[in-house]
Amino acid sequence: MTKVIGKVAATEKAPTTIDEFFFWTDKERVLSPFDVVKVEHVQGSKTFGVIEEISHITDSSSYLSNFISSDFGDVNNQPNMHRIGMNYVKAKVVGNSESVYTPVLDGRKVSLADEGEILEALGLSKIENPLPCGYLEMYRNEDQVSIPVHFNSKFLIGPEGAHLNISGISGLAAKTSYTMFLMKAIQDQFISQEVTNEDSVAFVIFNVKGRDLLAIDEPNEKLKESQKMVYSEMLGLSTDPFQNVKYFYPFSNQTESKAFTYGHKDDIEAQVDLNNAYRYKYIFEDDKVNLDLMFSNIEDSSGTMESIINYIITDQGGFGEVSSWSKFIQKVGEHCQKGKGGDQEISVMSWRKFKRVISKALNHPVFSARAVPEKNEVRLRESIRDIQKNDVHVIDIARLDEDTQAFVFGDAIRAIYDLKLGQEDREDSDIPSKIIIFIDELNKYASKDVPKNSPILRQVIDISERGRSLGIILFSVEQFKSAIHDRVKGNCATHAYGRTNAIEISKPDYRYIPPVYKNMLTRLDPGSYIIEHPIFRSLLNIKFPHPLYKQFPNG
């Protein structure tokens, strides 16, 4: 049954237009931004609007009048009569049932929309390739409705559009949880074969914080039954954690097993026993070609570091005879001494700078002599080369220093690129058609402050611009969207905004978000996001359930 809550008010100074209208409603009526309302319109049609602003007005001419009517400022004074007051609401037009886009007329009734009308208004009623992305909660008390919301998956993971960017302050915005929720929904659909046989997916996830993602194939024992019902009954998803998960930890000596990961030794050993966990290494002969990744955060405007790297990988100056990282350091040391020959165009000072950078990184045990498969030791590149459909590879870099983190991240990205470009010995039909890369703290690799010559920045930009056609999809997360390189965030088709601060919303990235919505961003609850997606007619304030996988204390 239609519930009338007010009438359209078109005034001389605030007329209705094809884009917006105002209506009055009772001052006790509880409405919220993002609520959908409908208006009776011409030719038997209905115009739908999304609430943007709510104001309260009385017949008082000024603040001074209010002060005087309270016996000149007596806060305990009881007036003889209450002032006439009402709420008036600004709504943005998002659609019309008969595609009639003329301004709604003064005095027309405004009502709450039912579930079907809400879906129609927001463009959610006929979504193709639906992928659950959360749910809406609209209205309050007895009028409240909860409605599942779906993306068109082809605008999230291709081919129509691609890439997801999520922003929000640390701790409260639940950015990682929301990204994992979406990836779980994607894996569910591919495993249940709700997509065509030509399509397949795999995931490469970088764990950058604590133990957050080191048990995603284990169930969340603390998940309430009501939350499970949101997955199963409202969103049509399974309540199982991720499947086909493999974990990759930085290699360390047994006595240092906790030095380079937040994972507990017993947990890691249990995963190794199940053949679900591996320790990754980098071998000189195979991985020296990636030396440039160690200089991702170093400005090299003159190109001297690049020249040295080219000198090394082309086996000049005796580097072709080097077979280990330790001998490599020795050989570099020789070039740091005056009068030792080498490329005369590269100064000794440049070699010394080069040595300072790499010496710190190469002290890490992941740079080793060889990998022993019998001990579940691997090269990441080889593991990614063999990634299978529906696999989830979790690469732990949380406890590495920033330079080593960058090296591991860059190496994995290059391995994925090489795989999708056909440079590995695998049949195309055997390779997942889409590989989704999830990286938290994107600001480390693609911020506006990263040196322009950074090989990782170039790789991330290339993924954002070309990845959709190759089937490489970037799911990225950062605290402040304004800090991210424009070409990266500009190529993301879907954006999610979590709770942030007032300084951030003043930046140009938020220019087109209505003021009330921007203010809401400073007080969003954990588990709530404002979503922008190509097929949505308006920004949506969605919620999502708690994670299905094991949660550790304090993160």
Q: What average pLDDT does this structure show over 451-478?
A: 90
Query: 374 or 239: which carries more pLDDT confidence?
Result: 239
Q: What is the pLDDT of residue 58?
A: 85
Q: What is the pLDDT of residue 257?
A: 46
Q: pLDDT digit string (tens) for 424-461?
A: 788 888 899 999 999 988 888 888 888 887 888 888 99
Q: What average pLDDT does this structure show over 474-499?
A: 92
Q: What average pLDDT does this structure show over 35-52?
A: 93
Instruction: Quote the Cα angle for 319-325-331, to 5°.
Output: 40
Contacts of 7 (CB under 8 A, 6+ apart): 23, 24, 107, 108, 109, 110
SS (H, E, C) 367-429: EECCCCHHHCEEEHHHHHHCCCCCCEEEEECCCCCHHHHHHHHHHHHHHHHHHHCCCCCCCHH
Cα Rg of the chain, angstroms: 29
Q: What is the pLDDT of residue 228?
A: 93
Torsion, Cα of 288, 291, 294, 299 (10° steps): 170
Q: What average pLDDT does this structure show over 99-125?
A: 92
Residue percentage of the chain with pLDDT more than 70 = 95
Q: What average pLDDT does this structure show over 538-549?
A: 91
Residue percentage of the chain with pLDDT more than 90 = 46
Residue-wise burial string across 17-32, b where 16 or more C-beta atoms lie within 10 A, e elsewhere: eeebbbbbbeeebebe
- What is the C-alpha separation between 470 and 493, in angstroms, rounded? 16
Q: What is the pLDDT of residue 555?
A: 46
Q: pLDDT digit string (tens) for 401-434?
A: 888 888 999 999 999 999 998 887 888 888 999 9
Residue 300 has pLDDT above 80, yes or no: no
Residue 363 has pLDDT above 90, yes or no: no
| pLDDT category of residue 119 using cuts at 50, 70 and 90 | very high
| pLDDT category of residue 231 using cuts at 50, 70 and 90 | very high
Q: What is the pLDDT of residue 113?
A: 92
- Structure tokens given for 337: 């001494």
| pLDDT category of residue 554 using cuts at 50, 70 and 90 | low
Of 213, 132, 214, 202, nearest to 180 (Cα)? Answer: 213
Q: What is the pLDDT of residue 15?
A: 94
Q: What is the pLDDT of residue 393?
A: 97
Q: pLDDT digit string (tens) for 511-529?
A: 888 888 888 898 888 888 9
* pTM attached to this predicted model: 0.88
Q: What average pLDDT does this structure show over 260-281?
A: 90
Of 357, 359, 338, nearest to 347 (Cα)? Answer: 338
Q: What is the pLDDT of residue 333?
A: 87
- CA distances, 21 to each of 105, 113, 139, 307 (Å): 9, 16, 19, 63
| pLDDT category of residue 281 using cuts at 50, 70 and 90 | very high
- What is the C-alpha separation between 406 and 460, in angstroms, rounded? 12
Q: pLDDT digit string (tens) for 97-111?
A: 998 989 999 999 999
Task: Name the strand (E) or helix (H) holding 329.
Answer: helix 325-335
Q: What is the pLDDT of residue 449?
A: 83
CATH class of 149-244+432-543: alpha beta
Q: What is the pLDDT of residue 340?
A: 57
Q: pLDDT digit string (tens) for 157-190?
A: 988 999 999 998 876 558 899 999 999 999 998 8
- Report the residue count for the chain: 555
Where are the alpha helices (H) located in 166-322, listed in sequence order? 175-191, 225-229, 265-273, 284-287, 304-313
Low-confidence winner among 147-151, 201-205, 426-430 (lowest mean pLDDT): 426-430
Q: pLDDT digit string (tens) for 319-359?
A: 888 888 888 888 888 888 865 555 567 888 888 888 888 88
